[in-house]
Amino acid sequence: MSAARESAPAFDLTTGPFTLAAGEGGRLLAEGPLTFVSARRARELGLDALEAAGDGGLTIDCQGVTASDSAGLAVLLDWLAAAKAQGRSLRFTHLPQGLAALGRISEVNELLERGV
């Protein structure tokens, strides 16, 4: 292996920014790590998206989430609580296996699957 190749940093899916980008059909695409490091920003982005959605419902596609932990799960639950308090619907699609497993362990998997 060449010295240049050995010194190149490994690509790390657990770092970098979390984003919510507009997708097709009014969906939002969650991309990047949804972890303790990104939870504050992710929470704010989701709450802003709910506010911008007006009276309509919102679907967030989580297929682009590259890493997750219990803080990420807490963010999703916070978004659901905010949507319910505002009388809006919110649904998640393509939850990564790690988030789905955390939901099962925490006994909130049905809520994550059906949304509000």
- Reading the block at residue 90, the tokens are 């919110």
Instruction: Give pLDDT, residue 56.
Output: 76
With pLDDT > 90 as the criterion, what percentage of the chain qualifies?
A: 74
Domains along the chain with CATH numbers: 18-114 (3.30.750.24)
Taking a C-beta distance cutoff of 8 angstroms, is the pair 30, 22 a contact? no
Under the banding of pLDDT at 50, 70 and 90, the label for residue 23 is confident
Residue 75 CA from chain centroid, whole number: 7
pLDDT value of position 8: 42
pLDDT in tens, 33-72: 999 999 999 999 999 999 888 777 899 999 999 999 999 9
Residue 51: both structure tokens together: 């506010």
Q: Which of 32, 26, 35 is nearest to 57 (CA)?
A: 26
